[in-house]
Amino acid sequence: MRTLYLAGELLRRMFEQVSKGPHRKELILASLESIGVGSLPIISIATAFTGLVMTNEIAWHMDFALSNVSMIPGFTGQFVLRELGIAIPALLIVSKVGASMTAELASMKITEQLDAYKLLKIDTVSYHIFPRWAACTISTVCLTLISITITLLIAMFTAVTKYHFNSQEYFNTLAQFVTTTDLLCAVTKATVFGMVIPPISCAYGLKCEGGAQGVGQATTDAVVTATLVVIALDFVLTAFFSALL
Amino acid sequence: MSILFENVYKRFGDKIVLDDVSFKVKPGEILFILGKSGMGKSVTLKHIIGVLAPDAGKITVDSMVVSSMQGVMRDQLDQVRQKCGMVFQHPALIDSLTIFENIAFGLRTQQYQEKMKSEVTEEMISDIVHDKLALVHLNPEILQLFPFEVSYGVQKRVSMARTLAPEPAYLLFDEPTTGLDPLSISSINELIFELSRKLKVTSIIVSHDMACALSIADQILFLDQGKILLMATPGEVMKSTIPLVQDFFKETKELLPPNWSLS
């Protein structure tokens, strides 16, 4: 609980730094490259396969239950924009970016780099955590939009090649089911996930004790907690948007 | 210009790490803190720079009470930290910066500019970095390398150069020779002695190296189970009848040259 309290405190410090600065744009840009660009390949590949599997699954179930696959675009569109296209990138960011943040900070703590920072009057939260938090938030939103696009394109490609849709027909059906509110829902969820993953990961890094085993334990705990928090928040936000719609 | 510990207590969970610790380090003095692992030696150093706060007792650095500053008197704590340079057990260099930038880091701070009472130009910074690098016997060719591109021993020396760059009034060394080969250990010990005497700064060295302590210390403090077992000059330490001190000294005797005597 103490670690979660620290995560909350870190999140508060992030908002405080957004309003008061310093904004450390150069460090944010460097982090954007490592977090955003660095995560693009794995998220693209994972979501491409998701689009492929999901279209086939939905088609099989529709064919089995209704003997009709004409609703594939609508179902895949809603599923991607409301859930899969957001949750999968977020969980991948937890395991790739969040784990790396925890391990990095935990290693810095056990090798006394953080104490050296204090002596050099470097504020770890402002100098080290804030740029990564800002970059992670921006990257999660961008990667989610890219992930949605890739998933939908692959889903359309599968529908066209395997289930004999033409692309115009696919788009028209998709447009009937997907609204700007769905897109707003996706962007909101991605922003929230991007904001909460770094504080949780960093809090576990800062609380790390012991040697290599401690780093491993902190990283595992951070990934497990961040995954659970993302899933719980997904549920809360889905309920919120469902009530709104 | 002194460091004063008065009845300091520190506990981590159930374990008492510092138990009624009191001592004084006079200006220009070299104090060695010896003791077995986990007896509170590094914790003592971290209290001086305010990284840790005592549960009870008072720690004073140059008439400033560090023990009451944590979290509430950030500016004053920064002032104390400005006076102290600490070489950590690990080199603790910033991985993302080159060796030059690591050494120069403390020179670019607002506090250092205020201390110098004038603008610190890049040329001045470069001169200081080269000067400190020479002091730790390193070649300027490594300046553009990153910490991971040089050996552990070199990283330790770079860490010393970084500590020395802002010219602190107090030098704190936390097991500076841990993890080094015998040749590097001897060279680092000579370096500490040279730096402490040449720069005439007050030094506190946490170590297991009794031979080095006997050679260069003004005072040696033995910590055991969080308590001060003995604080004395090297000559007094050699005559001590305390079993732990004798054990340390027995181990060291074999390492000292046959004709060795206290200077």
User: Domain locations in chain A?
Assistant: 2-19+26-244
Q: Which residues of B touch A120 (CB under 8 A)?
A: 105-106, 109
Question: What value does the mean pLDDT of chain B take?
Answer: 85
| pLDDT confidence of residue A38 | 94
User: Is residue B165 predicted with pLDDT exceeding 80?
Assistant: yes
The residue in chain B having the minimum alpha-carbon distance to the alpha carbon of residue A114 is B92
User: Is residue B191 predicted with pLDDT exceeding 60?
Assistant: yes
Which distant-in-sequence residues (6+ apart) come within 8 Å of A194 by Cβ? Answer: A90, A93, A136, A137, A138, A139, A140, A141
- Interface probe for A, chosen from B86, B103, B111, B172 (most Cβ of A below 10 Å), is B86
| pLDDT confidence of residue A105 | 94
User: Is residue B146 predicted with pLDDT exceeding 80?
Assistant: yes
Q: How confident is the model at residue B261 (pLDDT cuts 50, 70, 90)?
A: low
Say if residue A22 is preceded by a cis peptide, omega within 30 of 0: yes
CB contact under 8 Å between B105 and A120, yes or no, is: yes
Q: How confident is the model at residue A146 (pLDDT cuts 50, 70, 90)?
A: very high
Higher-confidence residue: B66 or A47?
Answer: A47
How far apart, in whole angstroms, are the C-alpha atoms of residue B97 and residue B147? Answer: 8
| pLDDT confidence of residue B128 | 94
| pLDDT confidence of residue B73 | 63
Mean local confidence (pLDDT), A209-220: 92
| pLDDT confidence of residue B246 | 81
- Residue A111 in contact with partner chain B when CB distance is under 8 A: yes
**ipTM over 0.85 threshold:** no
CB contact under 8 Å between A113 and B94, yes or no, is: yes
Domain B3-253 fold is Rossmann fold (3.40.50)
Q: Which residues of B touch A117 (CB under 8 A)?
A: 94
Tokens matching residue A194: 């991007």
Q: Do B3 and B9 meet the contact criterion of CB atoms below 8 Å apart?
A: no
CA A177 vs CA A61, A152, A153, A174, A184: distances in Å: 19, 13, 16, 5, 14
What contacts 24+ positions apart, CB below 8 Å, involve B67-71? B67/B8
Which distant-in-sequence residues (6+ apart) come within 8 Å of B235 by Cβ? Answer: B262
* CB nearest A116 (choices: B50, B78, B88): B88
How far apart, in whole angstroms, are the C-alpha atoms of residue A17 and residue A74? Answer: 42
Q: Do B146 and B99 meet the contact criterion of CB atoms below 8 Å apart?
A: yes
- Interface probe for A, chosen from B105, B170, B171 (most Cβ of A below 10 Å), is B105
Question: What value does the mean pLDDT of chain A take?
Answer: 92
| pLDDT confidence of residue A113 | 86
Give the N- to C-terminal CA distance of chain A in Å, as an integer: 35
What's the angle, vertex CA B112, arms to CA B106 and CA B113, rounded to 5?
125
Tokens matching residue B133: 């690098």
Average the pLDDT over each of A230-239, B6-15, B18-27, B104-113 and give the range with the smallest value: B104-113
What's the angle, vertex CA B113, arms to CA B102 and CA B148, rounded to 5?
0
Mean local confidence (pLDDT), A187-208: 96
User: Is residue B151 predicted with pLDDT exceeding 80?
Assistant: yes
How many C-beta atoms surround the C-beta of residue A172 within 10 A? 11
Q: Look-up: residue for tokens 């604080």?
A: B231
| pLDDT confidence of residue B115 | 77
Supply the DSSP symbol for A129: I
Average the pLDDT over each of A134-138, A215-219, B233-237, B259-263 and give the range with the smallest value: B259-263
| pLDDT confidence of residue A245 | 67
* CB nearest A115 (choices: B46, B91, B111): B46
- Interface probe for B, chosen from A109, A118, A120 (most Cβ of B below 10 Å), is A120
- Residue A116 in contact with partner chain B when CB distance is under 8 A: yes
Strand, coil or helix: B54: coil
Q: Which of the residue ranges A2-16, A166-180, B99-113 has the most confident prediction, judged by mean pLDDT?
A: A2-16
Percent of the residues in chain A that have a pLDDT greater than 70, as a whole number: 100
How far apart, in whole angstroms, are the C-alpha atoms of residue A62 and residue A78? Answer: 15
